[in-house]
Amino acid sequence: MRSRFRCPRCGAALTSWLRELELADALNLHMSHTWSLPSRWFVRRDSPLLRGSLLTEPASYPWLLAPSMKWLRIHADGARTIGCCGLAHYGPELPNLVCACGHEIGLGYRDCIGPYWFSLHASAVREEAVDAAPLQRLAERLTGLRARVAGPVARTGYDPGGRGAWHHDTTTWDDATRLNEVALDCGGGVDDPAITITSPQLPAGAQLVVPLPWCQLVRLVVLCEKPWAETSSPLRWQNGEQPRVSVSRHRRRVLLTAWGKGDASWAVTFEVRAWAGAWAGLRG
């Protein structure tokens, strides 16, 4: 089955059609600066998959989603939304996400302690439909990815510069090196994975090394998630002390930024089709 959630006041869609996530490998229960789950999926807060994490509360907002500004809006009252560096919430009595009609319907978190998530109040209307094209061979693809990621990665990545590029200000994107053709591989093992990016637009022999959590690699390769999000809420991940990575799309370009210590901060842009094609290549 697939589900879509609607506003109980005006009937507008609050999400696209979502599948219920059952693949534990794709969930992030504890890591900061990383989405709790992939974008085209939802999890109920009472799911056994969330046991032992802080994501089981508040129960009055039972539908847990990836953060996306496509359907929901941030509440206009800053006292409900402002954290130390991102969107925070101040409890179930003070919803910080609204429908386009203004109805208070959601709770969201994109601050620095713990996973990023959005959730919907129990009053949101749930619509259900048969899944016409369910994802196939998940177990087989997961096994294939485990084998592929097992190889080593040379951790000295090339530094392409581009530190002046910001997701929300697309006029700064030209500061980043533009890669028109790219190829991807992965390695480092399940505990410390990274993707490597090669391109004819990089110096001969150079590769970019982008660490990512295993759950994020599973989302992109096994669940075929879109490898970017909106400039207002970029796809984001971080693995321990490694650089924080954000990916967003504007028109036909994708910006990838890595924020870390010293030369671990850099940015590049891709042609949308080249970046999507490189992920399709990694999926095999």
Question: In which element (H, E) is residue 145 found?
Answer: helix 138-149
Shortest Cβ 200–Zn ion spacing (Å): 39
| 8 Cβ contact list (under 8 Å, min separation 6) | 103, 105, 123, 124, 125
97 lies in the binding site for Zn ion (CB under 5 A): no
99 lies in the binding site for Zn ion (CB under 5 A): yes
115 lies in the binding site for Zn ion (CB under 5 A): no
Shortest Cβ 209–Zn ion spacing (Å): 26
User: Count of CB atoms within 10 A of residue 263's CB?
Assistant: 11
121 lies in the binding site for Zn ion (CB under 5 A): no
7 lies in the binding site for Zn ion (CB under 5 A): yes
Shortest Cβ 15–Zn ion spacing (Å): 13
Residues 50-89 that bind Zn ion (CB under 5 A): 84-85
CB-wise, 12 or 280, nearer to Zn ion? 12
- Residues facing residue 107 across a β-bridge: 119
**Of 103, 121, 219, 249, the one binding Zn ion by CB under 5 A:** 103
Dump strand ranges (E) for 69-141. Answer: 73-74, 97-98, 104-109, 117-120, 125-129
Question: In which element (H, E) is residue 255 found?
Answer: strand 253-259
Q: How far apart are CA 209 and CA 99, in angstroms?
A: 39
CB-wise, 83 or 92, nearer to Zn ion? 83
Q: Which residues bind Zn ion (CB under 5 A)?
A: 7, 9-10, 12, 84-85, 99, 101, 103, 111-112
